Chains A and B, each alone.
Chain A
């Protein structure tokens, strides 16, 4: 467990540097899902950084593509490419785009950035794996905001109809979207009931508790014959006190004193 906690903190420090150097947004959205990524890549998913296209791998899709920095950092820390490459994030001519890209980046399955695409893509992959009798699972990480997208719910219908038990959606439910809290934008509650009503099996978990995340992800599918969704209750900007639970840090970039304070809180120099 301490292994994934350490991984998460290293990823947070990378993300802070990357977003600061590049002047990019979305640090809050990246921090809220770092623990989920660390548990997935550090202990749950079957994957091989030396062979990123290994047939037996579990597939991961970052549907909330704006948290790309967190995925790049997690992949680099997992051995997919040198961590030095992270300094190229958001730079002129770089492949490491602000929204996650698969081109030339080992370990990234698909490019996203426009919201509401990941669950449908994952459903197609899961359907193909199911038809082929493969045991790989497909993990899709969604934001709460992209549950505004109709296409997310089209995919939710498809996945339950086809009993895609190999499909696992994880919603990074930090309850803050681009301009305002979710509850003031398009209320999602009762959220669990929505997924249950779509005939998914649902678990709720503290999205920063590695033990709890590991436990729920160790017993998939949550119910037989249904796709699984894990509603991960998270804190936007998790890990840096002044970024936590603020709309501001969806877009703001930490520089100067703010950067130093944030880095100190994350245990870095």
Chain B
């Protein structure tokens, strides 16, 4: 996802001198080409995320479109108040980009596990939140946040799922239908789409037909497709590599409740409010915290059996 982001940003920077990338001293070798081509549109702010966000806001208020870049929780939680008071409150064109959603940096430990960032960022007024599920969506979301006025959050993963049908264009706030089925509707966000697709394929062999919706935009979110899916499937399952408290699962409950469309059965798959104190690869930790494809299959089958 990271490479697709920087490729897309390079295209944007080439066509718009207002585009500025500020990194918090992370992205070794990743920015070499960008930096060589656009030296006036690149700043390494050093290991200083608060100041990175403040500088980004100051530059945005002077007309730039500024992407701040770091990993995990550094560009978000470390400088949360700067995003709230400075970038968002001033409607500044600051685009906060975090590579390393969920367990992307699993072996590095708790400091590098981004497992509450979506909940926290979506609580901020005037911050649009994106977590693409596929490489195509990364490119689309990167372009979309450049065109979206004000402050945005873009959460990227190491893993990514399939792009889904080309007939489903990327529209800000509109979940994309990746797969259509009849029994179970999966709503998912971020690269863990790959696990959901595997789970859906496995369920198919067991006679369970699944729809999958990519909720690439957490905010703003158009509820129509979620509501429609809730009304036409036996079971709704939200899947996120993130806490179920405040993240996608919580948001779906809010949206369906507001629309008076609560389904008979809904399962939220994600982290249940725990710190991930063991380490391992993203693959390992997804299994350990029961958000991988086989865990998803188990949860779905037991929910359907109730």
Pairwise interchain contact B58-A111, C-beta atoms closer than 8 A: no
Q: Mark B21-43, 1 if CB is under 8 A from A, else 0.
A: 00000000000000000001001
Pairwise interchain contact B58-A122, C-beta atoms closer than 8 A: yes
- A120 sits at the interface (CB 8 A): yes
A119 to B55, CA, bound (A): 9
Pairwise interchain contact B50-A110, C-beta atoms closer than 8 A: no
Pairwise interchain contact B58-A120, C-beta atoms closer than 8 A: yes
Known: A110-B86, A117-B86, A124-B58. A131 touches B40 (CB 8 A): yes
A102 to B48, CA, bound (A): 26
Name the segment of A80-88, A151-159, A204-212 touching the other chain: A151-159
Name the segment of B59-67, B159-167, B176-184, B215-223 touching the other chain: B59-67
Pairwise interchain contact A151-B51, C-beta atoms closer than 8 A: yes
Pairwise interchain contact B58-A157, C-beta atoms closer than 8 A: no
- Provide the residues of chain B in CB contact with A151, threshold 8 Å: 50-51, 54, 82
B154 to chain A, nearest CB (A): 20
Could you tell me the dominant secondary structure of chain B's interface residues? helix
- Provide the residues of chain A in CB contact with B43, threshold 8 Å: 127
* Partner among B51, B53, B62, B89 whose Cβ is within 8 Å of the Cβ of A128: B62
Q: Chain B residue with minimal CB distance to A136? A: B62
- Provide the residues of chain B in CB contact with A150, threshold 8 Å: 50
- Provide the residues of chain B in CB contact with A132, threshold 8 Å: 62-63
A2 to B175, CA, bound (A): 65
Known: A117-B86, A128-B64. A158 touches B59 (CB 8 A): no
Pairwise interchain contact A124-B46, C-beta atoms closer than 8 A: no
Pairwise interchain contact B81-A157, C-beta atoms closer than 8 A: no
- B10 sits at the interface (CB 8 A): no
Residues of chain A in range 97-153 having any CB-CB distance to chain B below 8 Å: 102, 109-114, 116-117, 119-129, 131-132, 150-151
Pairwise interchain contact A111-B55, C-beta atoms closer than 8 A: no
- B56 sits at the interface (CB 8 A): yes
- B45 sits at the interface (CB 8 A): yes
- Provide the residues of chain A in CB contact with B89, threshold 8 Å: 111
Q: Chain B residue with minimal CB distance to A151? A: B50
- Provide the residues of chain B in CB contact with A113, threshold 8 Å: 85
* Partner among A111, A127, A128, A157 whose Cβ is within 8 Å of the Cβ of B48: A157
Residues of chain B in range 70-89 having any CB-CB distance to chain A below 8 Å: 81-82, 85-86, 89
- B90 sits at the interface (CB 8 A): yes
Pairwise interchain contact B61-A110, C-beta atoms closer than 8 A: yes
Pairwise interchain contact B48-A154, C-beta atoms closer than 8 A: yes
A268 to B72, CA, bound (A): 57
Q: Chain B residue with minimal CB distance to A123? A: B55
A109 to B58, CA, bound (A): 10
- B57 sits at the interface (CB 8 A): yes
A120 to B58, CA, bound (A): 8
- Provide the residues of chain B in CB contact with A114, threshold 8 Å: 81, 85
Known: A132-B62, A154-B48. A124 touches B54 (CB 8 A): yes
Known: A117-B85, A123-B51. A128 touches B59 (CB 8 A): yes
B88 to chain A, nearest CB (A): 11
Q: Chain A residue with minimal CB distance to B66? A: A124
- Chain B positions within 8 Å of A, measured between CB atoms, are 40, 43, 45-46, 48, 50-51, 53-64, 81-82, 85-86, 89-90
Report 14 cross-chain contacts, Cβ distance below 8 Å, ordered by A residue. Answer: A109-B61, A110-B86, A110-B90, A111-B85, A114-B85, A117-B82, A117-B86, A121-B58, A124-B61, A128-B63, A151-B54, A151-B82, A154-B50, A157-B48
